[in-house]
Copies of this chain bind each other. A is one copy, B any other.
Amino acid sequence: MGLCQTRAGESPKIPNSLKDVTKIALSGDEKTTCLSHQDEIKKLFPHLFGQPILTATSGVCGKKMCIGVVLSGGQAAGGHNVIAGLFDALKTFDKGSDLIGFLGGPGGIVDGQYVTLTEDMIAPYRNQGGFDMIGSGRVKIESDEQLQKSKAVIEKLGLDGLVVIGGDDSNTNAAVLAEYMKGFPVVGVPKTIDGDLQNAFVQISFGFDTATKIYSEMIGNICRDALSAKKYYHFIKLMGRSASHVALECALKTHPNYTCISEERRGLFEIVDEIAEMIEKRAKEGKNYGVILIPEGLIEFMPEMEALIKESASGDFSEKSNQLLEKLPGTIRDQLLRDRDPHGNVQVSHIQTEKLILHMVNAKINSVEHFFGYEGRCGLPSHFDANYCYALGLNAAVILAHDKSGYMSCITNLKAPVQQWEPAALPITSLLNMEERHGKMKPVIQKALVALDGEPYKRFAAARERWKYADDYAYPGPIQFYGGHSESTPKILVE
């Protein structure tokens, strides 16, 4: 029996506050608003707008229910445990309760593709990575037709509620569906390895811990290899969309020589010059090796590239942008000018930022490029993610048992031992503002970027100059499930 099989038979740790899900009331009186654009949001969400934040008190909870669950968007370790927690709570409420898993993501709701989950089906997926039990997908339930179809499927199945496990957009769409169905209970669960779904009640989204631990294992190994071989510069691009939380977390765990933080909004040439200077100074010390981390979203935040990408929509480039285009390597120019998504937008995530920077640095070095992404999304969930997700699932069931709608399942106090974690329910509308998407103003959850006045960034900023030259690499090693190193929380977690 392998490690994964053993983990499937083990029980997550459960917070004291969720040990008996039948004895939980939810309370909260203070009305919420939203991030901005209050009038527009209020108009779009007449049923949901203004609901209070709810916390757990003792009371009575549970009834026979039929609940649907769907996984939305990219994989994140722990998704299966959200489903397991939800299932176990529903069966604790009433053995006759049912959990229906929609297949292949939100498209499964629209098309009525589903399976009724049983203990036998869930058992092998407990504490496992991946989303393969019921699959996931990127369909967004947004159009009238999709909403109508979804409503019909939900009504035909006689669902008492729906749990949407997804990132910022999926949670927004969960609220849209709840509103469309006039307060039908829909609960969102904050999932994304990117860590950009963060707020006072979501200290971190699930999957971030496992992914960054896996990336940091690899980065640490590569730091050690660089220091041993003493002849390669490793340029490592990290998955994580626009925000740099993944890169920041990995930097705090491994201390590479240089880490770009997109949110600093530094120019391409500023970054390139700084890296070139570091390489030159290190060469003078006889150090022709190093490790450089590059967040996936870096170029979106570079002022000159931002302008160029904007102008590329019309093809009408300013003189400055034309000059920049000339300096870029051909492959990158092609990616900027030719590769477009179906909406005509530049596919920023396709641009090989690591190659761009390496090319522009133009130093005589041996270089190796890496991209760490898919390796980290489906790993065996760390204890943190396994416990966190199971608690998120239990809490989602509690919220639904109280017929609440448009809420996000939250677990707070995550830096404390699991026993002291606390459940809460956060109105999704309270996180919304209006932003332009493909030319239209839409209600969306604002992405949480790395705060340059925040504690995690400050710790990084205080050490970055030393890391450039001191080779103060750290080697976190592989995720452990037994022994003294199996419990740890992300470094960017702040109270």
Contact = CB atoms under 8 A, between A and B. Distances in A.
Interface of A: 2-4, 6-7, 74-75, 104, 128-132, 135-136, 214, 217-218, 221-222, 224-225, 227-230, 232, 234, 368, 370, 374-380, 474-486
Contact of A477 (B3, B104, B485): B3
Given A375-B221, A484-B6, A228 B75 contact: yes
Contact of A478 (B225, B377, B479): B479
Nearest to A377: B225
Contacts of A228: 75, 130-132, 135-136, 378
Contacts of A132: 224, 227-228
A229 B228 CA distance: 37
Nearest to A371: B370
B3 A485 contact: yes
A482 B214 CA distance: 18
Contact of A475 (B129, B477, B486): B129
How many monomers of this chain does the complex have?
2
A300 to B, nearest CB: 21
A4 B228 CA distance: 16
Contacts of A128: 475
Given A132-B228, A224-B132, A374 B378 contact: no
Given A2-B485, A104-B230, A478 B217 contact: yes
B477 A378 contact: no
B6 A224 contact: no
A368 B481 CA distance: 30
Contact of A378 (B104, B225, B380): B225
A483 B482 contact: yes
A4 B475 contact: yes
Contacts of A486: 482
Contacts of A7: 477
Contacts of A229: 74-75, 131, 136
Given A129-B475, A478-B478, A224 B378 contact: yes
A104 B130 CA distance: 43
A475 to B, nearest CB: 5
B221 A374 contact: yes
Contact of A227 (B74, B130, B230, B370): B130
Contact of A222 (B374, B479, B485): B374
A234 to B, nearest CB: 7
A343 to B, nearest CB: 19
The 8 closest A-B pairs by CB, nearest first: A482-B483, A478-B478, A224-B378, A130-B224, A131-B228, A225-B378, A3-B477, A482-B482
B3 A130 contact: no
A394 to B, nearest CB: 23
Given A75-B225, A218-B218, 5 more contacts: A3-B485, A75-B228, A221-B378, A380-B478, A483-B483
Contacts of A3: 476-478, 480, 485
Nearest to A471: B132
Contacts of A234: 374
A4 B225 contact: no
Contacts of A368: 374
A186 B104 CA distance: 62
A230 B379 CA distance: 16
Contacts of A136: 228-229
B380 A477 contact: yes
A357 to B, nearest CB: 19
A480 B218 CA distance: 15
B377 A6 contact: no
A368 B374 CA distance: 9
A71 to B, nearest CB: 8
A407 B75 CA distance: 51
A484 to B, nearest CB: 7
Contacts of A474: 2
